[in-house]
Amino acid sequence: MSLLMILLTIFLPPVAVLLKEGLGVQFLINLLLTLIGWLPGVVHAFWINSRGSAVA
């Protein structure tokens, strides 16, 4: 992951997931987790951004 992606993942988790996966289920899950609490959204975003290529 690049430094920019790491910073986005920490400060704006839904944006980081949107850039990695596009507008889909993972983005909506991350948005919900971030609204519930910042830390669950960050953990989910790191999980999404650290795995391999995007799943179609």
**Rounded Cα–Cα distance for residues 34 and 56 (Å):** 23
**Rounded Cα–Cα distance for residues 35 and 29 (Å):** 10
Give the pLDDT confidence score for residue 2 in this predicted structure. 87
Give the pLDDT confidence score for residue 30 in this predicted structure. 97
Domain boundaries, the chain: 3-50
> With contact defined as beta carbons under 8 Å apart, do 13 and 30 qualify?
yes
pLDDT along the chain (56 residues), means of 10: 91 96 95 96 95 63
Q: How many CB atoms lie within 10 A of CB 31?
A: 16
